[in-house]
Structure 1
Amino acid sequence: MSNRSFLGLIAVVILLAVGANSVYIVSEYERAVVLRFGRLINPDVAPGLHVKIPFADKLRKFDGRILTTDARPESFYTIENKRLIVDSYSKWRVQDVQKYYKTTGGDETVAASRLANRVADVLRNQVGGRTLHEVVSGKRDELMHELTVELNQTANELLGIEVLDIRVKRIDLPEDVSQSVFDRMSADREKEAREYRSKGAEQAEVIRADADRQVAVLEANAYRDAEKIRGEGDATAAATFAEAYQQDADFYAFVRSLTAYKNSFANKSDLMVVDPESEFFRYLKDPQGTK
């Protein structure tokens, strides 16, 4: 290869390198700045195809989408001096590219760390002005809204980012008091259970006493009715016997004597000592019963 050809190849390579370093693309989901010898010349590059001076201009790109920062759990105190462990996260994105680059150097980790510190400070102030019930109850949404509005203004002024939302993932009691709280809750539930059992036993006694009273009343009424029916039956039987006796007194006396004989001699081993002249043998001596 001749020197001319070699120099031409080098020139082509240099032109390609210069051309590649002169053109850059910024996507729709990206934010970018251009530096010239370390000095910021374009603080917010629009999306699209752009040209820069090779080797003099330097492009820095940032993620322009919504980002999430998980803050480490922090210990806060309520207005009642109750200690809570709060785990939160925040949603944010770059709004002022120039300010974002100047304050964080375009480092997302630095921005997330500073935002987390701001979230912890504001959250500490908000929790410190509320009771435990307000923090863990339905007023938590109100707390998060106020926190987001307050922090968004500060973060925009200091970091050039927009805070879209702040949420609490979990609120726990410290481990050293969780067991005591659990024991107190268990004792309260046990006390409530004893009260329910006591009331239930009292109601059971009332129901049982009422049932016993009703049973006694029913048995007394049934015995009264039975005795009344039995008395009426006995009266009817006595009247029937009397009427039958009046129709034929001799025959009725004979039947009664036969029944007495049958009952007296029902068992062969029975022994009875009676005077032969007794009225008991009247119908045995004479069928007419006259002797």
Structure 2
Amino acid sequence: MKKTTYILPVLVVAVVLALSSLFVVDEREKALVLQFGQIKAVKEEPGLAFKIPLIQEVVRYDDRILSLDTTEIEVTPSDDRRLVVDAFARYRIADVVRFRQAVGAGGVRAAEDRLGAILNSRIREVLGADQVTSDTILSEERGDLMLRIRDQARISAAALGIDVVDVRLKQTNLPSQNLNATFERMKAEREREAADEIARGNEAAQRVRALADRTVVETLSEAEREAQIIRGEADARANEIYADAYGADAEFFAFYRSLQAYERALTGQTSTMVLTPEGEFFDYLRGADAQ
């Protein structure tokens, strides 16, 4: 009975010690076995592992890709137009030994503080470089800038045992105190561009109108010249006909010309003529007896 009394506690302690010496590494994590703060073993493969109870402890780190939102910072591109940049990064713990040595017991929280400082430094460095303007940051070249930030941050973060997978600029805004001034400047620039376009349009319209006016003048001049030629030819032909008629019958030609004169002189309601009855104008109206 006394033996049983001693054996049971020993068995319980042995079972507890045996169980406490076992631990499971999940496929989504990596583990370090520490003994008095020193790294004794690295467990990167999922499965069952062992440690010395009471003396050694297990520290687990997430092996998945993690996300980190950086704090908003102001950057000044080469055109001196300040921007407020908000970014985020995707990273993973690539080397757990170096990660533990770099951040110690601070773990992921301490690592993210240091990684955030690295990212902000690289964002300022890349976006503030020569030939990088605010328009460049807001254009399609934004993707190339993010790749440069990622590559430079990856080099610095390697000392922490961290691999920076990706860096993205979430928002790129103007500082609130500069918004009104920037909007006014953009408005003035657009108005200037509009005025230039209007001036160029007016200049083009003037050229078109001048060309059209010149074409009209040339066309009218050419038409007038041709009309004068036609009238001259018609007058010459009429004179020729008159001459032939006069040569054929002078008396009939004189009679015809008198009728034309009567028609032109006696038309209208207000025409007044003062002539003597014996004048030659009425020779063909008096008849043969009057003569």
Answer yes or no: same fold by TM over 0.5.
Answer: yes
Q: Secondary structure at the match of 2:133?
A: helix
Letter in 1 for 2:194: A
Counterpart position of 2:190: 189
**TM-score, structure 2 as length reference:** 0.70
Instruction: Please list, as runs of the form range in 1=range in 2, the aligned pairs for 1:87-106 lying within 5 A after superposition.
Output: 87-101=86-100, 103=103, 105=105
Overall identity of the aligned pairs, in %: 35
User: In structure 2, what is the equivalent of residue 69 of structure 1?
Assistant: 68
Residues 104 and 111, structure 1, Cα contact 8 Å, conserved in 2: no
1:142, distance to aligned residue in structure 2 (A)? 6.8
Alignment of 1:167-246 (within 5 A): 167-246=168-247
Residue 190 of structure 1 aligns to a residue whose secondary structure is helix
Q: Distance in 2 between matches of 1:72 and 1:160?
A: 22
Equivalent position of 2:32 in the other structure: 33
SS at 2:213 equivalent? helix
In 1, the alpha carbon distance for the partners of 2:99 and 2:109 equals 12
5+ residue gaps, structure 2 = 1-11
In the alignment, what sits opposite 1:10?
none
Which AA in structure 1 matches 2:163?
A: E
Distance 1:255 1:156, change over 3 A: closer
The alpha-carbon distance between structure 1 residues 36 and 268, as it changes in their structure 2 partners (threshold 3 A), is closer
CA-based RMSD? 4.4
1:161: Cα distance to partner? 1.9
What secondary structure is seen at the aligned counterpart in 1 of 2:32? strand
In 1, distance between residues paired with 2:256 and 2:152?
A: 118
Pick one of 155, 158, 176 that aligns with 1:156: 158
Partner of 2:42: 43
Of residues 63-72 and 277-286 in structure 1, the stretch that sits farther from structure 2 once superposed is 277-286
**What residue number does 1:120 align with?**
120
Structure 1 length-normalised TM? 0.70
- 8 Å CA contact 1:22, 1:53 repeated in 2: yes
Inter-partner Cα distance in structure 2 for 1:131 and 1:193: 27
1:233 shift after superposition: 0.5
Residue 189 (structure 1) shift = 3.3
- Using the alignment, how far apart are the partners of 1:222 and 1:262 within structure 2? 32
* CA distance in structure 1 between the aligned counterparts of 2:200 and 2:64, rounded to whole angstroms: 62
Q: 1:31 to 1:217 in 2, by over 3 A?
A: same
Q: Secondary structure at the match of 2:64?
A: coil
Which amino acid is the alignment partner of residue 224 of structure 1? R
Q: Deviations over 1:130-155 (max 9, x none)?
A: 46539737886676556545543443
Tell me which amino acid in the other structure corresponds to 1:114: R
Task: Give the C-alpha shift of residue 239 in structure 1.
Answer: 1.1
* C-alpha separation in 2, matches of 1:188 and 1:232: 65
Q: Which one-letter code corresponds to 1:168 in the other structure?
A: L
Q: More displaced, 187-196 or 16-25?
A: 16-25
Is 1:108 paired with 2:84?
no
In structure 2, relative to structure 1, the CA distance for the partners of 1:80 and 1:209 (3 Å cut) is closer
Inter-partner Cα distance in structure 2 for 1:26 and 1:82: 51
Any idea what SS the aligned residue of 1:244 has? helix
Q: 3-state DSSP class of the match of 2:43?
A: coil
**Per-residue deviation, 1:81:** 6.9
CA distance in 1, matches of 2:55, 2:67: 34
Contact 1:100 1:106 in 2 (8 A): no
1:264 Cα shift? Answer: 6.3
Structure 1: gaps (5+ residues): 1-12
Q: Closer, same or farther in 2 for the Cα pair 1:211/1:47, shift >3 Å?
A: same
Residue 129 of structure 1: CA displacement? Answer: 5.6
